[in-house]
Structure 1
Amino acid sequence: MKKHSLKNKARKTACVLTAGMMLFSVGALTACGNKTDSNNTALVDTQEAQKALSYKVTEIPIQGLENFYGQITVKNGLYYLVQNDYEIIDDMYYSSYSVRVFDETGAEKLTIPVFKQTDTETYGGINGDLYVDDSGNISCMVYESSYNETTGEYKEIYNLVTYDSAGNETKRQELGQIYTQEDMENEMYFNGYIVDAQGNLYLNLNKVIRVCDSTGNKLFDTPASESENSWMSNLILTNTGTPAVLVYDYTNDISTQTLKEIDINAKGYGKEHVLTAANGTLYSGSGDYLCYMSSETGISGIRADNTQTENVVNLLTIGIDNSNISSFVICDDGSFITVGNNYTHSGSTTTVSKILPVESSEVAQKEIITLGCFYLDWNIRSEIAEFNKTSDKYTIFATSFSETNDTSDWEAALTKFNNELLAGNVPDLILLNSGMPVNSYASKGLFADLYELMDKDAELTRDKFTPNVLSAFETNGKLYEITPAYSVQTLAAKTSLVGTEQSITLDKALGLVADMGEGATLFGYDIAAPEFLSTAISFSDFVDYENGTCNFDSPEFKAVLEYAKTLPKEIDYETMYNENPNYWVDKESACRNNKALFYSMYFSDFTSYTQTRDGNFGEDITLTGFPTSNPESTGAAMFAQTEMAISSKSEHKDGAWEFIKYVINGAVTEEPYYIWDNSTNEQKDTGRTRYNSKYYSLPVLKDQLDKIAQQALVADTYIDENGNEVEQENIYYIGGEEIKVGRPTQADIDMLKEYFANVDKVSRQDMSIDEIVNEEFGLFYDGQKTVDETVSVIQSRASIYMSEQY
């Protein structure tokens, strides 16, 4: 039974960065130098950053790999890949699969057609990886599925097919006896396979691993998990060649990942390895590493002797964007092969790279800037890789705490690393987020004032930014952090109900709800009391982080507590849905049908305004913000994307600032504007430019915001069968009803830009404040304290906390 409680949610989503995660940097080139913790564990490895640069990257010019599929296989200097192509016949897509073989120059040596779809009722392809032996024989799992619309019969057939080195089929072994229709009916679905050195097959059937001998005879199934919150990931071979499967389990808000070896003699599981930092895709092991794993910065290895995670190659450092890596393999010569896919509005490209260790003397010497974070998001990874690839002066060496540390107990991890950062272990560059006590860090002198760097810069000056952004991030006139983009969260209501004033009190809002009739609610969604309280604190002015004060004993906060007491402590969505199968349909149309006053809006662009106005409300709306007694407040808040700060102790502030500039200047991209041409069934270049927000949010620079705003006025189009460019209809579905949504007008754009310009509050979530409020509120909720007693205790406890931290 699924339940929702914001207190747990907040602990999962709030990310705290500390320098404890900065495990790798160069002693002479770091902000904090060589240090060890109380357990004599090095917080800074003086050799690791330079070692990360000691690789040569060669791109292998393989052509026509836009539809590469699965894992690359490398054997005897040849590269084996699966190609999945599509063709359109009579407006229907037909797929085909083939095995393609290339040498190290990118020259194609062999193409083997494996499957070609010939009708719309039969599908198929290659499932899983390719296996190649020393003689060049290629094995792959080929499946065909069919559905008879008349009889409703569904069939799925798997064959293990082998081809010789010339591409001739030499063996086709049907697996119908070991993977049956009954398995599928029991929700045991084929999810990949591996083959061991003896030729035994190990099939991942989602719930169990089915083991068969080389002739296809079933030997046994591994025991199925008894936990509903347990599932299997990929199969691998360990460094000893032993088959193993990664099993995830999520119980009591704690996630565990266990690599379970499969013992063919015992007919079950053998050794089990608990992996404390297994957050990526696992690959088969070799040498000292039980297995390898994709990580936020590159590839990590999990040691066989102690299951500790070590960074093997930092791809970002050598200019490879690992967020797009779809395949990885380690070759016998010690080199790494990666396959990366880059997707744009105009299509995709695939790059195969060979990474070979070289002597450090062969590497160009550049100034190293250390960057630390708790979690490295996708967009900033690409920025680091491209910066490192193009800069001839600086290299960003990024590390992430979650790569090599146990985060199963999230709160304990946050506490530990928060303490590390407060202790002064800070890298040159730090990535922050709304869940961190940023103002507390700043008040303790951990961060440099970015205005000092900005004011020396002739290119990125203060006047380039939208003023509200700088104002929102300032602390006592200093700028300790900045972001390339942000979103705005606010509340909207029908203008016919609330008027045109962009501010509303809680008392007035509740009065309007009472007048709306029986069953009407404040919000167009169900909200638990802890979530409401956390939202109220984030959007209101109960906490003044800049001055280190709070005002929880105000009449306004009393009203918040009184309303929160009318809400449930937690929400059981599963039960609510079972009791009302139309639950979600009713909720999404609640505001439109006058069953709710407020709808939560999350502005990351300019087009969501008309979708909400025309779809969720069906009439004009007012952006009221969260209820507040301050008539000057918008009641809205910014949510920053990838907040960046520089250590006050860094010796490389200029280099760190160059990277921040690079990220901010690249927040909006310009690409050729491609549209679909139905007359030719292919993309067509219109000759126009499309502006895209890289962070899917509002950019902080004025000229970039203007470009995104103007792009919102441009309708999406396509070419019809007659060669005419036609505007696409903007369709929104509310309550099961199809609604046509208009595009923003220039007046809408102007109104939104003015509204955004008045939002100067950054949403912050301090878990310690939330815990104080929730603990005391629980006593009030249960009737053990009055509201006056509750706010008095909250004010006292929160004031002490603020004085200690700020």
Structure 2
Amino acid sequence: MNFKNLCKKTISIALASALVISMTGCSKSGKEQTNSGGTEVKKEFVWVPEFYDLASEGSFYNSKVNNGYLYYQNYEWDEVTQKSSYSIESISLADGKAGSSIPIRLTAENAEEAVENSKEEAIAETEVEIKEVEDRSVSGFVPTDDGVETVEAVYHWNEETGENKSEFYLCKYDLSGTRVSEMDITETMTKDENNSWISDMQKDGEGRIYLAADTAIFLFDAAGNYQGTVSAGAETWINSMGVGKDGKMYISYYNMNGAGMTLQEVDFEGKALGATYENLMNSNGSGSLIQGIDKDFLIVGSNCLYQYDLATQSTEELLNWLDCDINGSYVDAVYALEDGRIACISNNWETNKGELAILSKKPASEVKEKINITIAGLYSDSSIQSEAVKFNKSNDTYRISLKEYFDYNDVVLSGEENNYEQVMQDAINRLNNDITSDNCPDMLMLNGINIERFAAKGVFEDLNSWLDNSTKVAKADYFENILEAYTYDGVLVAIPKSFELMTLVGKASELGEEPGWTVAQMVEYSKKHPDAELISYLTKEYALELMLQYNQGSYVNWETGECNFNNESFIGLLEFAEQFPEKYEYKEDEPSEPTKIGNGKLLLSQTYLYDFQSVQMPAAHYDNDVCFIGYPNENGDSGTYLQASTGLAMTAKSDCKEGAWAFLENYLTNSSEEYSYGFSSKKADFAKAKEEALKVEYLKDENGEIMKDENGEPILANGGGTIGYGDDWTYTYHATTEEEADLIEELIGIAKPATVADVTILNIVKEEAGAFFKGQRSATDVASIIQSRVQVYVNENR
């Protein structure tokens, strides 16, 4: 394993204290906006952060706390020796300074011999037998006053036979890193192959050991002797484990039978699970349950930190991450300190730097008020949160808050069934209600939103005048067709920072070289190849969804309110979808998509283009006989669509447009190219990326010599990389060619904005189409019923 990106560095500290909070909102009514869209009284207390920069790049996942220090796992990679080393590092939760380091030697030493010698002799001993293994790793650890205890997994494999086996050990190390004991628990841990991967290790107040696997907890006494196994059930997945404020051990697990996230006590003596607690949120970040402050547990969310109360089985918000100038997407670990403060460890994906924040509860009267700007959407992403944190730290007048309407905690899985569509529809309804009320947000994240529908309602502020008067960004900076794609009836709705392309590809020798075709032409093409799949995994419902996704504008006009389902085109679409199975039957030995294309068993492939190399894979699928024909539509024109990676719009109702534009300007001008996804909408940045993609560079060793592969060929630094599908089909990327870059530009030039199909309309279509698929009604009758129902819905929601 290559751990060169996880090298440890010296911890440096930069203390910063932020004493600001949003106290006033910008709703139309002048009332304060809350995270849920309602109004609330100003907060009596706030959480104020003190920040410490951590140059360490170790993993804080499943970190542990002992005697005021946070312990975490750290790998180092030596480029010269090509070897890795492992250690347990620590930092003080009082000031962020580095603490002790315990080096761990990940080889299977003869532990008994090591114990027989004194610790000093064990360190210096050169005759200790070393049993070379292929891979040994620490699956979990618990820091102690004397050192650290670990559970370690050793994986053996035979490259010739493909055989593999695993071993497991409970180990103890002293503060110098000497392994003083090792107990083999392989027999216990390999009895159930479904629970042979350990996700966490915990100890209770009596020193007893708990090892969490997928669906079970393994129990050991303080001496490491196996005591029993507690099962959470076959249809579960253990999410986290930890000691509560009452000193008892608890686990949380996701129940696939529809019960969702569940919390239960682990009864060590009874070798069983105890009382059950519900209404627990799924936690981000740490894999351990976290002891609470006032309540029993802290629950880490992407936007907020919550606390859970066992007595009432309820979850309530404790603080909002943005209010504390923290990006919740970056949070790795949270701990409640004995004095009531909160320690938060976050890891910035863009900079790969860690940060410690110590949060203190203070009266709101001590904090400067700022005007709140609410950015709302179905769901957020880390880039918006990251920019909001930067903006909030630097702007003295405004503060950004985020509101998500879709909550994954509301999604319940039960076997193959789930309520995802209903949860999404409820989120859309809440968003619609807020937009038409005094709770309208100042800005909207456009991911998953039906832009055309909202544009017809006049929801969006026209960004043309703001762009014309800006001193930071200009229209000339952006691709003209990208801006046109997000312009509706002359109103520039959004300025995408980056985007990706979505299209269909097929065989050029059969489809021709030019992109674009109609649904009828695709149906005819499918009929000519009755023994081949048209598109992977198509079912009756999926075929309808796919065609409506890119053609709903042909059937619904939100501006005029006209619906047009009762016609030959839609009837033909129903008849086209009817040919596919009701449910796709997956096979274990099913060939990969490129293999099926090569065998003539698959005609078309859905493709996503996000960088200059991404055109290579679809071309390889069709042995360079490829046409980027696009998704079919009524006009037969371009079926290549562009999707903004994150599009931001200002709302016409906002009273904080100056502040909203200030944030949007910052967002568009701040660069995070290394971690951005998709193509830049800025012409200069796009050209720079193209130039870099066309460079041919090779990897060099420490002496500056070009490195070569096993065939003696130089290894590309900006290309290379091989992808395989498990059925011997592989592809190795090469540096981008001029032709490939030109193709990307051609597709961008003809791309249209991706549309978001209305969930309610989709559900109406699928519900009524079922009668046709079952032979209960004709396609003509079903189209007429859909026309009537959708027309009523559109009339009520325009």
Shorter-chain TM-score range: 0.7 to 0.9
CA distance in 2, matches of 1:100, 1:416: 45
Contact 2:24 2:33 in 1 (8 A): no
Does the CA contact (< 8 Å) of 2:694 and 2:738 recur in 1? Answer: yes
1:127-142 mapped onto 2 (5 Å cutoff): 127-132=139-144, 136-142=145-151
Match of 1:96 in 2: 86
**Correspondence 1:43 to 2:46:** no
The Cα offsets for residues 247-297 of structure 1, whole Å up to 9 and x where unpaired, read as 10223xx46000111234544222211135324245322233221122112
Residues 376 and 28 (structure 1), Cα distance of their counterparts in 2 relative to 1, 3 Å cut = closer
CA separation of 1:422/1:184 partners in 2, compared to 1, >3 Å: closer, same or farther?
closer
Q: Judge conservation of contact 1:122–1:144 (CA < 8 Å) in 2.
A: no
Alignment partner of 1:630: what SS? coil
Shift of 1:393: 3.6
Q: Which of residues 599, 604, 613 is equivalent to 1:598? A: 604
**Is contact 1:279–1:403 with CA below 8 Å preserved after alignment?**
no
After superposition, the Cα gap between the structure-2 partners of 1:437 and 1:146, relative to the gap in structure 1 and judged at 3 Å, is closer
> Distance between the aligned counterparts of 1:499 and 1:148, measured in 2?
49
Could you tell me which residue of structure 1 aligns to residue 470 of structure 2? 457
Cα displacement (A) at 1:802: 1.9
Select 1:789's aligned residue among 781, 784, 788. 781
Deviation at 1:243, TM superposition (A): 0.8
Aligned-partner SS, 2:74: strand
**Contact 1:473/1:480 (<8 A) preserved:** yes
Shift of 1:415: 4.2
What residue number does 1:83 align with?
A: 74
Instruction: Output aligned runs, 1:693-772, within 5 Å.
Output: 694=676, 696-715=677-696, 717-720=698-701, 723-725=704-706, 726=714, 728=716, 730=720, 731=722, 733=724, 736-739=728-731, 742-772=734-764
Alignment-derived partner of residue 57 in structure 1: 50
- 2-structure distance, mates of 1:757, 1:237: 58
CA offset at residue 175 of structure 1?
A: 6.1
Counterparts in 2 of 1:310 and 1:404: CA distance versus 1, 3 Å: farther
Paired position in structure 2 for 1:214: 222
Post-superposition shift, 1:168? Answer: 8.2
Segments of 5+ residues of structure 1 without an aligned counterpart are 1-23, 671-691
Distance 1:309 1:84, change over 3 A: same
Match of 1:547 in 2: 560
Question: Percentage identity across aligned positions?
Answer: 22
Q: 1:477 aligns with which of 490, 498, 522?
A: 490
Pairing of 1:298-447 with structure 2 (within 5 A): 298-343=304-349, 348-360=352-364, 363-401=367-405, 406-408=410-412, 409-423=419-433, 424=437, 426=439, 428-433=441-446, 435-447=448-460
Q: Secondary structure at the match of 1:128?
A: strand
- Conservation of the 8 A alpha-carbon contact between 1:428 and 1:656: no
Q: Which amino acid aligns with 1:459?
A: K
Q: Distance in 2 between matches of 1:427 and 1:237?
A: 42
Separation in 1 of the partners of 2:740 and 2:185?
61
Tell me if structure 2 keeps the 8 A contact 1:318–1:388.
no
| 2:627 paired residue number | 622
Paired letter, 1:320: I
Q: Distance in 2 between matches of 1:662 and 1:527?
A: 43
* 1:71 Cα deviation after fit: 4.0
Q: 1:706 deviation in Å?
A: 2.6
Deviation readout 1:675-712 (Å, 9 max, x if unpaired): xxxxxxxxxxxxxxxxx461x12333333333333333
Normalised to the residue count of structure 2, the TM-score between the two structures is: 0.82
Q: Deviations over 1:295-353 (max 9, x none)?
A: 11242222334333333333333333332332222211222223333345xx8433333
Equivalent pair of 2:517/2:629 in contact (CA under 8 Å): yes
Residues 514-561 of structure 1 deviation map (CA, whole Å, 9 limit, x = unaligned): 555x623433x2311211111111212333334333322333323222
Counting only pairs closer than 5 Å after superposition, residues 248-287 of structure 1 correspond to structure 2 as 248-251=254-257, 254=258, 256-264=260-268, 266-281=270-285, 283-287=289-293
For 1:168 and 1:641, locate their aligned partners in 2 and report how far apart those are by CA, in whole Å. Answer: 46
> Which ranges in structure 2 are unaligned for 5 or more consecutive residues?
1-20, 108-129, 413-418, 707-713
Letter in 2 for 1:661: E
Distance 1:255 1:611, change over 3 A: farther
Deviations 1:469-504 (A, max 9, x none): 333333332234453222221112222222223222
Note the alpha carbon deviations across 1:104-135, whole angstroms, 9 max, x for none.
55554533223244775154454324344xxx
| Number of the residue aligned with 1:584 | 591
Offset, 1:611 = 2.5
Matched residue of 1:395: which SS? strand
Q: 2:519 matched to which residue of 1?
A: 506
Cα deviation, residue 764, structure 1? 1.0
State the alpha-carbon separation in 2 of the partners of residues 752 and 244 from structure 1.
Answer: 53
SS at match of 1:300: strand
Superposed counterparts of 1:662-681, under 5 Å:
662-666=666-670, 669-670=672-673
What are the superposed Cα offsets for residues 755-795 of structure 1, whole Å, 9 maximum, x if unpaired?
Answer: 32222232212111111211222222222322322322222
Cα contact 1:329–1:338 (8 A) shared by 2: yes
Q: State the distance in 1 between where 2:281 and 2:565 align.
A: 40
1:66 — aligned with what? 57
Match of 2:767 among 757, 769, 775: 775
Q: CA–CA distance in 2 between the matches of 1:313 and 1:642? A: 26
* Rounded Cα–Cα distance in structure 2 between residues aligned with 1:473 and 1:365: 35
Contact 2:72 2:89 in 1 (8 A): yes
Q: Secondary structure at the match of 1:236?
A: strand
Structure 1 residues 51 and 407, CA gap change in structure 2 (3 angstroms): farther
